[in-house]
Amino acid sequence: EYATVTDLAAAARTSASYLSRVLRKKLLAPDVVDAIMDGRHLPTLTFEAVLRPFPVSWLEQQRALLASR
């Protein structure tokens, strides 16, 4: 429906930069997403923390985002 992130951001009334950071979360490993949804993540793993850059490798994501408590 939208040709660019800029178009989608305008429709959502947000900035293209913010929307791009949110859309990158689609690259999160499935087990990381499951852990977040089930509450099995570190308390420091906030929405703001997930907006920061993270590794593309799913194994590295597990190490960075789901390190043992």
pLDDT in tens, the chain (69 residues): 899 999 999 999 999 999 988 888 888 999 988 988 898 888 888 888 888 888 889 999 888 888 754
* pLDDT reported for residue 14: 96
* pLDDT reported for residue 65: 82
* pLDDT reported for residue 6: 95
How large is the C-alpha radius of gyration of the chain? 14
38 burial (CB, 10 Å; 0-12 / 13-18 / 19+) is exposed
Give the span between the Cα atoms of 45 and 65, in whole angstroms.
7
